[in-house]
Structure 1
Amino acid sequence: MTDLPGFYPVTDISPAERARVGALVAGHPVFALYWDAALDAAAAGDRSRSVRVESEGAILGIAFDGLSVYTPVGAIGDAALLSLTADPRPLELHLTPEQAERLRPACVGRLALEDGLRFYARPLDSLPAPDPACRRMGPAELEPLRRFYAAHYPATVFSAWMLELPFVAIVEDGRPVAAGGVLARSGHRAMIGNFLVDPARRGEGLAGRVVAGLLAALRAEGVITALLATNDLNPAACRVYKHAGFALLERRAQLDLRAA
């Protein structure tokens, strides 16, 4: 949970504030899922989700292991937007182009990467048969997965609780060679991500096999819509997702900030 001024754990805000945020995100599948997942987590006592409620907007926050992610929704004033840079953790900011323009000058010295962000969606009404080699991961696979991501994707937001949402991988000789899972889930929707292929095995179609396996696992659990986000600087991933039937919903800017 963040200690930024104006931000509160979702567990602590009033019913009226919850309703205001719900109305703000209602028209956006991704942000509505973020909010519903935050409410579900709050009901379970989780305090990693936070929110700053403004008169005509809100900023949704989530604290992963070693990373804070913030997503402004609606009209956000300068004070609220600039407050994000007070978080000393590594940050991932999902902004409109106009918000990125306003915030960029305050990020001098911390801006590690600026990229385009793409949100995609896919209904799960028709799926190819999953690859039996792509299987669900559990607590016993936590440490091999941690090592896999630390070796090949150290900036990941992988956390142990993701194994419950679910998380899948192709394992060969006792180690993952490709993996991916769910970042947020509520009701019949899930936000998927963290797709990673061993660099030595790229070009073999492993990413597509993991995506198909994860979608099949989600549909078996009643999920009817999968959502995901990827970046302009990763055109290979964009091709994989389009080939898997995902359609583009929206583009945003992503600013990645180093720890202060």
Structure 2
Amino acid sequence: MTAFRPVAGLSREQRARVGALVAGHPVFALYWDAALDAAAAGDRSRSVLLEPDGAILGIDFDGLSIYTPIGSVSDAALLSLIADPRPLELHLTPGEADRLRPACGDRLALEDGLRFYARLLADLPQPDPACRRMGPGGLEPLHRFYAEHYPATVFSAWMLDLPFVAIVEDGRPVAAGGAIVRAGHRAMIGNFLVDPARRGEGLAGRVLAGLLTALQAEGVATALLATNDLNPAACRVYERAGFALIERRVQLDLRAARYSAPC
């Protein structure tokens, strides 16, 4: 993965090239603005592979790397992604998925349709007072909540500052969600989870309303989110809450590569 460079190491011209590629796309522009903010703060988890007419944005979470091509990228650039041996989440156009899928082999754990939604934060529903913002004291209960019911998700302590909200009963979260990327007046939200024993009670909508209100209070004007075709219930919740579909992509989830022991 040597062709990828940390965002902090890009020249002004290179940053301008990426900025031009993401202009007009609210989700990718948010990814890029957040990457620039993180680089300015010394973070090196965001990276970019530059192509003549495109780029691939990368971000490393705890135990997972996510890559998003933008513009036109070569086959060599796409194939370089699966040279990364870590678990991967790839957000691809249908054409890119067709080009890359045969090379994934048995690392391909899941393929799903990816939906990007957007909503202006105006005319919000009244938030539920039981939905509260989580502070540092909520970190361990949230870790246990996600580990028990959704271990594949990416939840990190820094997300509590973006913000993150939950409905807590008897000291345990029963529903939660928060912002996962934020820059300027836009935020990407996600990590929505409801205790399986409590599904069907409207908890997801209550958490969503509480989160949007918290974001609006902090100056966020547009909320963005990504969800999957395999989760139609979530799509219905978001659409009822006023989110509009703005793009579809293909998500390929790859397992960590397996290596043979040396002879």
Give the TM-score range, shorter chain: over 0.9
Which residue matches 1:66?
A: 63
Asked if 1:96 is matched to 2:90, the reply is no
Aligned length: 257
* Structure 1 residues 173-192: aligned runs within 5 Å: 173-192=170-189
Distance 1:110 1:253 in 2: 16
Quick one: distance in 2 between partners of 1:21 and 1:121? 22
Check conservation: 1:111, 1:257, Cα contact below 8 A: yes
**In 2, distance between residues paired with 1:86 and 1:172?**
44
Partner of 1:7: 4
Q: Which residue of 1 aligns with 2:205?
A: 208
Query: How far apart are 1:37 and its partner, in Å?
Result: 0.4
- Following TM superposition, by how much is the alpha carbon of 1:183 offset from its aligned partner in structure 2, in angstroms? 1.1
Partner residue of 1:118?
Answer: 115
2:2, 2:43 → 1: CA distance? 20
- Alpha-carbon distance between aligned partners in 2 of 1:196 and 1:98, rounded to the nearest angstrom: 31
Task: Choose from 122, 131, 136 the match for 2:133.
Answer: 136
Q: 1:50 aligns with which of 31, 47, 50?
A: 47
Which residue identity lines up with residue 57 of structure 1 in the other structure?
G
TM-score, normalised by the number of residues in structure 2: 0.97
The aligned counterpart of 1:239 is: 236
CA contact (8 A) 1:5 1:83 kept: no
**Which runs of at least 4 in structure 1 moved beyond 6 Å after TM superposition?**
none
- Cα distance in 2 for partners of 1:18, 1:98 equals 26
SS of match in other structure, 2:140:
helix
Q: What is the identity, as a one-letter code, of the residue corresponding to 2:80? A: S
Give TM-score scaled by structure 1 length.
Answer: 0.98
Query: Which whole-Å deviations, capped at 9, do the CAs of 1:119-147 have from their partners, x for residues lacking one?
Result: 00000011011001000011111111011
- Does 1:172 find its partner at 2:169? yes
Which one-letter code corresponds to 1:39 in the other structure? L
CA drift of 1:65 comes to 0.8
Report how far residue 205 of structure 1 moved. 0.2
CA distance in 2, matches of 1:131, 1:66: 34
**Residue 106 of structure 2 aligns to a residue in which SS?**
coil
Indicate the residue corresponding to 1:155 in structure 2: 152
Cα drift, residue 106 of structure 1: 1.0
How far the C-alpha of 1:215 sits from its partner, in A, is 0.2
* DSSP-derived class of the 1:27 partner: coil
The CA deviation at 1:216 is: 0.1
Q: Which residue of 1 aligns with 2:81?
A: 84
Deviation at 1:200, TM superposition (A): 0.4
The answer on 1:226 being equivalent to 2:223 is yes
